[in-house]
């Protein structure tokens, strides 16, 4: 059986094991990667539709995980996704620092 775990950021995913990650983003996406798959749901403005799409993506992720024999689906919901995005004000010293 696939376990669904809510996390706050992709960095919360353990370094080992295969998984499916579901999160909100600027556009819809379905991408395979070496450790599994990421499903991104477009962060639109209509709450009911957005929630329905996210719930459907979680169900799809559970089915994919079962098919691929992954043990975990990680979910970053909208509130957590917004907390993980750092926004600096214009003219912030962070913008002028060399990388």
Range of the domain at 57: 3-96
**Domain count along the chain:** 1
- Dig out the tokens for 60 from the structure: 């799809």
pTM of the full structure: 0.75
Residue in the block written with tokens 């169900």: 59
Q: Are 73 and 62 spatial neighbours (Cβ–Cβ below 8 Å)?
A: yes
Query: Can you tell me whether residue 6 is helix, strand or coil?
Result: strand
Per-residue model confidence as pLDDT tens for the chain (99 residues):
899 999 999 999 999 999 999 999 888 999 999 999 999 998 876 677 888 899 999 999 999 999 999 999 999 986 555 544 433 344 434 333 343
């Amino acid at each position: 059986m696939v376990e669904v775990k809510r996390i706050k950021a992709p960095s919360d995913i353990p370094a080992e094991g295969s998984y499916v990650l579901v999160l909100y983003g600027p556009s819809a996406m379905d991408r395979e990667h070496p450790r599994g798959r990421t499903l991104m749901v477009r962060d639109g403005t209509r709450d009911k539709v957005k929630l329905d799409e996210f719930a459907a993506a979680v169900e799809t992720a559970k089915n994919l995980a079962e098919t691929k024999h992954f043990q975990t689906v990680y979910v970053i919901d909208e509130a957590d996704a917004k907390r993980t995005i750092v926004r600096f004000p214009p003219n912030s010293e962070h913008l002028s620092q060399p990388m």
